[in-house]
Amino acid sequence: MTTAHFYPFRGVLQRTQVLVILLMFGIAVAKSQTIAATGSAEEAMPSLPDAPSSCSGRGAEIAAAGLSQPEFAGPEFAGEDASAAMAGTRSKGRRHFAMRTDITIEPGQSAPRLTAQDKVSLGLEQSFTLFSAVGWIASAGYSHVTNGSPNYGTDSGAFGERLGATALRSTTQNIFSNAVFAPIFHDDPRYYKLGRSHKLIERVVHSVIRPLVGRSDDGRTRPNYSLLSGNLAGAILTNAYYPKPNRGVTETMETFGASLSGSAVGYVVTEFLDDALELVHLKKLETDSTP
């Protein structure tokens, strides 16, 4: 089909993509408003909102104190005194224990081991957050300004097409990585921040190489199999909806490389976001807690 024959359908495609974006953005905004109504801004971004769950034993004692902590699993919680845990939970405005729904683990936090079901939930929830929507807009905007891939052109309708394609690629890659491949490879999909207790260069390197180097469920450092596989699967899937000039083996590998670069930028933002907000006085200054 020639470009001239395809053009009459372009308006329908644009409107469909805009509707999808509005729906996704609406979900993200609704989730962020729910977080704002029930928790602090620190808990809202970049981590996912806390989800209530039943507790027993020490978890019940913590929940009784109004901290709404889930039941934890793993040796790091063995022998933990409930009163000591509650005392350290709100120190310096930060929870001592990470929730199962947290995609970002703060310095000094103890994190429960994730089940396969936790990873599926995490992958689905993380795909529709305000933080993700901002990433779609930034990526599509950069591609539009530079007239980069996907090559829809530079007219008024091209940005909407780029935004729709970017949102679809990002969402599918995230779901593939966290909900599909993380359980298969037994990877921990969460990002563990280093924080200000480490040197600047260490934090930059830690965040930049995160798409390549991850950790297993038992805490061992190893190649980030789930993210690499998820981004590759998402890049291959773009052949179904990217314009013809961006399809093929070479173009797919370019998309894969660009996705890894985008993931690295996202981790850098996550690592330094709190610092940036404090610098412009939008967040109270905090010091990292020690493990």
Which DSSP state fits 146?
H
Percent of the chain with pLDDT over 90: 47
Rounded Cα distance, 141 and 240, in Å: 22
235 touches 252 (CB < 8 A): yes
The pLDDT of 215-238, averaged and rounded, is 96
Q: What are the backbone angles phi and psi of residue 187, rounded to the nearest 5°? A: -95, 150
Which region, left, alpha or beta, applies to residue 74 given φ > 0 means left and ψ of -120 to 50 means alpha?
Answer: left
Q: What are the backbone angles phi and psi of residue 191, rounded to the nearest 5°? A: -100, 125
Regarding pTM above 0.75, the answer is no
Which region, left, alpha or beta, applies to residue 72 given φ > 0 means left and ψ of -120 to 50 means alpha?
Answer: beta
Determine the pLDDT at residue 49: 34
With residue 255 as reference, give the H or E element that holds it.
helix 249-279
Distances (CA, A) of 137 to 21, 99, 166, 172: 10, 28, 8, 16
Confidence of residue 207 (pLDDT cuts 50, 70, 90): very high
Q: Give the DSSP per-residue string, 156-218.
A: HHHHHHHHHHHHHHHHHHHIIIIIIIHHHHTEE--EE---TTS-HHHHHHHHHTTTTEEEETT
- Looking at residue 49, its amino acid is P
Rounded Cα distance, 237 and 115, in Å: 27
Q: In which residue are the tokens 């976001």 written?
A: 273
The pLDDT tens digits of the residues spanning 164-191 come to 999 999 999 999 999 999 999 999 999 9
Which DSSP state fits 57?
T
Distance of alpha carbon 57 from the chain centroid:
31
**Cβ of 177: how many Cβ atoms within 10 Å?**
30
Confidence of residue 114 (pLDDT cuts 50, 70, 90): very high
- Paired strand residues for 191: 104
173 touches 259 (CB < 8 A): yes
Instruction: Evaluate if residue 270 carries a pLDDT over 50.
Output: yes
